[in-house]
Amino acid sequence: MAKYLARKVPNYSDILFPLTSMLRNKVTFVWEATQEEAFQKLKKILSSDPVLIIFNPGKETIFTTDASSTLTPTESRYAQIEKEALAVVWRCEKFRDYLTGIHFKIKTDDKSVIPILSKKNLDGLSPRLQRIKLRMMKFSYTIKHIPGKELFAADALSRNPQKVPYKREELEAEIDAFIQMITSSHSTSSGRLD
């Protein structure tokens, strides 16, 4: 992931030099204070404000995609336009917790997918593209073409998501609140719930 975000890190190669110098032929791999310092500095820079920040739904959200994920044997036989459209759907569905309820921009490196995902009706689309379009209808978005050389980290942050550990009490409180919300908004009498 560091390599994908390297363009956003000033003096990236200088910071990384103590680590990359160990990758040369006939160099013994020894982790010393200089390597640890370079590693910690890079971690701090990559997780700092201009590179990686906490999501803010109040700010403009721009979502970039490309069709570079591994496909199933069936999906590998899809037409290229279907693969590109499917890549957009996968990314939107993967980040649906962040994207649902807000208007966001999608930037893709494939021009052919733009008319498919931006037009309102399904007429004239193949059944597969209709299904893909239907999956995108729950989102509010504008899609735009951007050259592939400008898409530097289309899906780098989604490669290894980390689960947030819950404390048992927090999880139980969240479940209780959810159940309370459902039962209070439902018109069923309390006698039927038992």
Domain presence at residue 162? no
CA distance 171 to 154: 33
Domain presence at residue 44? yes
**65 CB-near residues (< 8 Å, 6+ apart):** 87, 88, 91, 106, 107, 108, 154, 155
User: Is pTM, for the whole model, over 0.85?
Assistant: no
pLDDT along the chain (194 residues), means of 10: 65 81 84 91 77 77 74 83 89 89 89 86 86 91 82 49 63 78 65 54
Model pLDDT, residue 142: 93
Model pLDDT, residue 149: 66
Domain presence at residue 165? no
Integer CA distances (angstroms), 152 to 140, 147, 157, in order: 24, 10, 11
Q: Which single residue is written with the structure tokens 């459209």?
A: 85
Number of structural domains in the chain? 2
Model pLDDT, residue 143: 92
Domain presence at residue 186? no
DSSP state of 25: T
Domain presence at residue 181? no
Domain presence at residue 192? no
Model pLDDT, residue 52: 58
Q: Do 147 and 84 fall into the same domain?
A: yes
Domain presence at residue 163? no
Per the structure block, which two tokens stand in for 146?
Answer: 């951007």
Q: Which domain holds residue 42?
A: 1-52
Domain presence at residue 24? yes
Q: Do 95 and 65 fall into the same domain?
A: yes
CA distance 147 to 110: 8
Q: Do 143 and 85 fall into the same domain?
A: yes
**pLDDT, tens digit, 9 for 90 and up, residues 86-123:** 989 988 998 888 899 999 999 888 888 899 898 777 88
The Cα angle at residue 17 between residues 11 and 21, in degrees rounded to 5: 160
